[in-house]
Amino acid sequence: MSTSGHIDQAAAFLRERVPAPPDLAIVLGSGLGGFADALQDPVTVKSHDIPHYPRSTVEGHKGELVFGTLGTKRILAVRGRVHYYESGSLDTVLFPVRILAALGTRTLVITNAAGGVNRTFVPGDLMVLSDQLNLTGMGLPATAPKERGTADYYDPVLRKLALSTAERLGLRVVAGSYAGVKGPSYETTAEVEMVHRLGGDAVGMSTVMETAMAVALGMSVLGISCITNKATGTSPAKLDHAEVTEVANRVKEHFSLLLREIILSI
């Protein structure tokens, strides 16, 4: 179980290696870690060197924190998240977000790879998260700050900026609600239909608890999903993780361009 002491030790370790607190942090999802390569003057810290930091075991999640700059912005990129199904521990999932807050992060961009539930979405689409459905059956632990009363987990100003930036760049970007499940199994056809009827446009195995914690800690959050496949029942194709990383790799240039231009405009 993570304690405030563990958070303090991890944050102190990182402060010794980073020249200044980050202006913005970004969590990079499956296959999307390449964005960190665009940062200037990078300082890379392996997650296994950070006291108490959880280990990522999923392909496409490298397991490191990269500090660097983009224009005048100081950026911390988390390259490799830990999913609930890897550890069975919500404290472990939330540990990186709590470290970001301890380092003074006020703006968080959280990304993921997701299955498209909305029938109009196609693999390769980027979706700006307008809302979320927490289908994990979990809430924040008692040790978390009380959540702020808000109708918007995903900051409306940042959402508007992301959509206008995509339009300016001529990139296909959609908007929708993300449904988060525990995983690790892909959803059945009936489960995908349930998500659809509940208003979900995409489904994945991360993000919802991280976003809830970030908001509780006072951060402004922008969420972006890479739609890597059509969810079960919306396509005859069989799903596997290789498809997820292949599609993410295919759209990484558009994804990185969009992220870069959004961050420079914040």
Q: Given the residues 86, 187, 191, 210, select the one marked as catalytic.
A: 86
Could you say which residues of the chain have pLDDT below 70?
1-2, 57-61, 147-151, 232-245
pLDDT of residue 40: 95
pLDDT of residue 232: 64
Q: Given the residues 36, 162, 166, 205, select the one marked as catalytic.
A: 205
Query: First and final CA of the chain: distance in angstroms?
Result: 35
Cβ neighbourhood burial of 206 (10 Å; 0-12, 13-18, 19+): buried
Domain 4-265 class?
Answer: alpha beta
**Residue 83 annotated to the active site:** yes
**Residue 206 annotated to the active site:** yes
Q: Helix 156-169 vs helix 252-265: angle between axes, to the nearest 10 degrees?
A: 120
**Residue 118 annotated to the active site:** no
Question: 230 near 116, Cβ under 8 Å?
Answer: yes
CA distance linking residue 100 with residue 14, whole number of Å: 10
pLDDT digits (tens, 9 = 90+) for 212-250: 999 999 999 999 999 988 876 566 666 566 666 677 777
Q: Given the residues 10, 83, 112, 216, select the one marked as catalytic.
A: 83
Q: Give the other-Cβ count within 10 Å of 119's Cβ.
A: 12
**Residue 86 annotated to the active site:** yes
Show Cβ contacts of residue 241 under 8 Å, excluding neighbours closer than 6 positions: 30, 58, 59, 60
pLDDT digits (tens, 9 = 90+) for 55-83: 876 555 578 999 999 999 999 999 988 89
pLDDT of residue 147: 63
Specify the pTM.
0.92
CA distance linking residue 103 with residue 41, whole number of Å: 19
